[in-house]
A and B are shown apart, each in its own frame.
Chain A
């Protein structure tokens, strides 16, 4: 099976712009989660989607949003970019099927976002 794929791999934006990142989960996985990785804060959970519904959210401002499509592909959007949004954004998918169920997450290579 192909792994989790993320596009684009690298992105450079300027402050105030918005950005959309894309994630395709492993075939058959319906749960997609997003994480932000920075040198200072480490890996932090952004949100999780399952069957097109956000079912869990981390402690990030409303500028960070996401969605999931019927084929389980997911996008995350960051509006009004700030310098501090520069980070590696990781997507992970899992086979978890029921509300509250947990399962192993498999990570993609990430999108490296640089905000100038």
Chain B
């Protein structure tokens, strides 16, 4: 079955530390890839997406992600986190023949201390 794995359930960082959240998926065909963020008390928001082209994509708030096809990975990075980045982060995959259906990872909770 198609699945998405996020390696870290909970990450705790200090402000200004660098962030990398891992995401791997199991699907052999063409996929579209997304990272969503859910801030406390808010709904899911799109951080960034990859459909095709440059495998290094930039999103909002200084986030970026790199698609490595050979590793089935789409890791999220940010060079310097802020307290306001405290949130839950979800990686999602859309198999290209599945309409808009998203397969989500279980999420990673990021806690940033000031």
Residues of A whose CB lies within 8 Å of any CB of B are 31, 33, 35, 42-45, 48, 50, 55-56, 58, 90, 92, 94, 96, 99-110
Query: A105 contacts which chain B residues (CB < 8 A)?
Result: 46, 100, 102
Q: How many residues of chain B get a CB closer than 8 Å to chain A's CBs?
A: 25
B41 CB to closest chain A CB (Å) equals: 10
CA distance A90 to B96 in the complex (A): 22
CB-based A-B contact count at 8 angstroms: 67
Q: Contact at B104–A103, with CB atoms within 8 Å?
A: no
Query: A50 contacts which chain B residues (CB < 8 A)?
Result: 99
CA distance A102 to B100 in the complex (A): 5
Query: A104 contacts which chain B residues (CB < 8 A)?
Result: 34, 46, 49
A76 CB to closest chain B CB (Å) equals: 15
Interface string of B41-61 (1 = CB under 8 A from A): 011111001010000000000
Q: Contact at B107–A102, with CB atoms within 8 Å?
A: no
- Other-chain residue from B36, B42, B49, B101 in contact with A58 (beta carbon distance below 8 A): B101
A94 CB to closest chain B CB (Å) equals: 5
Chain A minimum-CB-distance residue to B42: A109
- Other-chain residue from A42, A44, A48 in contact with B100 (beta carbon distance below 8 A): A48
Q: Contact at B43–A102, with CB atoms within 8 Å?
A: no
CA distance A105 to B45 in the complex (A): 9
Chain A minimum-CB-distance residue to B94: A102
| Contact residues of A: prevailing secondary structure | strand
Q: Contact at A100–B43, with CB atoms within 8 Å?
A: no
- Other-chain residue from B36, B45, B99 in contact with A102 (beta carbon distance below 8 A): B99
CA distance A31 to B44 in the complex (A): 17
Query: A45 contacts which chain B residues (CB < 8 A)?
Result: 101-103
Query: B42 contacts which chain A residues (CB < 8 A)?
Result: 109
B98 CB to closest chain A CB (Å) equals: 6
26 interchain pairs, CB-CB under 8 A: A31-B99, A33-B102, A42-B106, A42-B107, A43-B92, A43-B104, A44-B104, A48-B99, A48-B100, A48-B101, A50-B99, A56-B99, A56-B100, A90-B44, A92-B44, A92-B100, A99-B99, A101-B99, A104-B34, A104-B49, A105-B46, A106-B46, A107-B36, A107-B43, A108-B43, A109-B43
